[in-house]
Structure formats: C-alpha cells, structure tokens
Amino acid sequence: MAVNTDVTKQTGAAALGAKVVIYQRRISFATNNLDTGDWFDLFQMPDGALVLGGQVEIITAGTATTDVTVGVEDGTELCTGANLDGTAGTITLFTSNFVSFDGTTIDCAVDTANAEAGVILVTALVAYFDEM
C-alpha cells in the first residue's frame, strides 16, 4: 500500500505548551485533621480539563477505619474505598475517568471516621483541551 502524501503534517505542536499534567497532593492527616463530612479542595481544575486517570496511595497507614473518597465538587466520585488504615503502599485507582471540568475542584473526604493520622498521596492525570 502506498503512502498518501496529500495530507499536510500538523505543525506547531511544540509551541502549544503542556497538554497533559500530573497533579499531586500529599496529605498528612496528623497535621491536617479531616472530620467526617468535611473535605479538602485538592486541585482547582481549569475549564476544559479532562481527568484521564489517577490514584490514591497510602504512604503511612492511619488509625481510623475509614475510606478516603476523591471526587469532584459537583458530586461525581473519582475514587472510593481507599482504606486509610490499610497497608502502606496500597494504591487505589480512580474508578471514574474522563470527567470534564468547568472550573470546579477535585476534593478529598473521609466517610465514616475522623482522619487524625496517616499520610496519603493523591495523583490525577489531567489533559487540557483549550484553544490551539
């Protein structure tokens, strides 16, 4: 099969800037307690951002038997079931991906007990779809 040379190659990609960004936030609940029903604003997403994936990693196990939930300000949950008192090194992947934003935030909450110990690392892989 012959190569079709009628298609012009796209130019300017190097000048467009970062289009895929990794957001990370490390939270020590010993320093930043989180009561049940409260939440942290982790990341402010720009209009047109799209979450491609992410995870919650337990860096240091906490003492509270509670799950960490990461979600969107509008109520969409990205990750649930990251057990704060689980084994250090345990990774829980985002179960909802391809969530688009209109200036809302990605938040972190705990569901059944106050978080007063433990450390987590939340990572989100985000693509930007702005004007080119």
- Summarised one tens digit per residue, pLDDT across range 108-121 is 998 888 888 999 99
Domains of the chain: 20-128 (2.60.120.220)
Lowest mean pLDDT among 24-33, 37-46, 53-62: 37-46
Of the candidates 126, 122, 127, the one whose C-alpha atom is nearest the C-alpha of residue 69 is: 122
Of the candidates 104, 107, 120, 121, the one whose C-alpha atom is nearest the C-alpha of residue 47 is: 104
- Summarised one tens digit per residue, pLDDT across range 18-28 is 688 899 999 99
pTM of the model: 0.82
Is the C-alpha dihedral spanning 82, 57, 107, 27 positive or negative? positive
Give the CB-side neighbour count of residue 28, counting CA atoms within 13 A: 2
- Summarised one tens digit per residue, pLDDT across range 82-111 is 999 999 999 999 998 788 888 788 999 988
